[in-house]
Amino acid sequence: MSTMTLYVEKNSILHNTAPLTKVLYVMVSIAITYLIPEIAFVLSVAIITLLLLILGKVFRKIVPILGLSIILILSIIIVQGFFHPQNQTILFSIGFVTFYKEGLSYAALLTLRVMNMIMSFGILILTTKHDELVEAMIKKGLSPKIGYVLLSVLQLIPQMRTTMAKITDAQRSRGMETEGSLLVRMKAFFPLIGPVVLNSINITRERAIALEVRGFSSNQKRSFLNISKEYRYQTAIQVILWLTLAAAIVWRILTWLS
What does the binding site for other proteins look like in residue numbers (CB under 8 A)?
A: 1, 3, 131, 144, 148, 151-152, 155-156, 158-159, 162-163, 166-167, 169-179, 190-191, 193-195, 198-199, 202-203, 206-227
DSSP lists the bridge partners of residue 93 as 98
Pick the closer one to other proteins by CB: 60 or 215: 215
Pick the closer one to other proteins by CB: 69 or 199: 199
Query: Shortest approach of other proteins to residue 102 CB, angstroms?
Result: 49
Query: Shortest approach of other proteins to residue 207 CB, angstroms?
Result: 5
Pick the closer one to other proteins by CB: 219 or 258: 219
Query: Shortest approach of other proteins to residue 208 CB, angstroms?
Result: 7
Pick the closer one to other proteins by CB: 91 or 167: 167
In 3D, which of 217, 248, 5 has the Cα closest to residue 126? 5
Query: Shortest approach of other proteins to residue 178 CB, angstroms?
Result: 8
Measured in residues, the chain has a length of 258
Pick the closer one to other proteins by CB: 38 or 177: 177
Separation between Cα atoms, residue 231 and residue 18, nearest integer Å: 6
Query: Shortest approach of other proteins to residue 222 CB, angstroms?
Result: 5
Query: Shortest approach of other proteins to residue 180 CB, angstroms?
Result: 9
Pick the closer one to other proteins by CB: 38 or 169: 169
